[in-house]
């Protein structure tokens, strides 16, 4: 990979920023759900073609949560259960 490659990630403030490192988590702007890059639910959505335009990337789970995204129930079930338990 070229050292000049740049990636656009979302920060904790929900705003995009340029990074020399790729994101470690993917998310969907519409549903505000984040998960692992190898998530089978996201892979199915990507295969259907409707997900690509709304895809965002995060460096850390803390950034995703601070930006208002919740964990995926499929690929992050323990994080999702903890998030769900905190909901009113």
Query: Measured over all CA atoms, what is the biggest interatomic distance in the chain, rounded to whole angstroms?
Result: 46
Residue 29 lies in a domain: yes
Into how many domains does the chain fold?
1
Percent of the chain, pLDDT > 70?
95
Task: Record the pTM.
Answer: 0.85
Q: What is the mean pLDDT of residues 29-42?
A: 94
Asked if 52 and 45 touch (Cβ cutoff 8 Å), the reply is no
Residue 23 lies in a domain: yes
Tell me how far apart the alpha carbons of residues 34 and 45 are, in angstroms, rounded to a whole number.
13
Residue 2 lies in a domain: no
Residue 7: which H helix or E strand, with range? strand 7-10
Range of the domain at 80: 7-85
Residue 3: predicted pLDDT:
56
Residue 71 lies in a domain: yes
Residue 67: predicted pLDDT:
95
The string over 32-66, giving b where at least 16 C-beta atoms fall within 10 Å of a residue's C-beta and e elsewhere, is ebbbeeebeebeebeeeeebeeeebbbbebebbbe
Residue 11 lies in a domain: yes
Q: What is the CATH number of the domain that holds 77?
A: 3.40.10
Residue 1 lies in a domain: no
């Amino acid at each position: 990979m070229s050292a000049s490659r740049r990636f656009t990630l979302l920060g904790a403030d929900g705003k995009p920023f340029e990074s020399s490192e790729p994101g470690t988590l993917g998310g969907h702007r519409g549903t505000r759900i984040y998960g692992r890059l190898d998530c089978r639910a996201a892979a199915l959505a990507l295969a259907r073609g409707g997900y690509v335009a709304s895809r965002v990337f995060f460096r850390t789970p803390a950034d995703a949560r601070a930006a208002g995204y919740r964990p995926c129930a499929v690929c992050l079930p323990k994080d999702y259960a903890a998030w769900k338990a905190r909901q009113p």
